[in-house]
Amino acid sequence: MKFLIKSNIHTERARFAREIFLAYAGITLICLSSILVFRNFPVAYIESSGFTPFKTISEYIISLILFLFTDSSLCKQRQI
């Protein structure tokens, strides 16, 4: 009986993981097709005026994410 319960839980987890994977794959496919097929992406550089605000802000956001990840990794490493 316990085997059936564990098997049922494992099956539900596998189904849930598959659904999550398919959802992320669908979102990724939509985003990539939006950029590559429909050319729906903001301009990052204008030859006469240089970088656009989109480029500048996105670089700051990426740098902030990298800094926070590095900081959290160092904090976790120091605790071990």
Q: What is the per-residue pLDDT for 65?
A: 98
pLDDT beyond 60 at 74: yes
* pLDDT single digits (tens) 15-32: 899 999 999 999 999 999
For 46, the 3-state DSSP assignment is: strand
52 Cβ contact list (under 8 Å, min separation 6): 42, 43, 44, 45, 46
How far is the CA of 47 from the CAs of 6, 24, 52, 56, in angstroms?
62, 36, 10, 15
pLDDT above 90 for 10: no
pLDDT at residue 6, as a whole number: 58
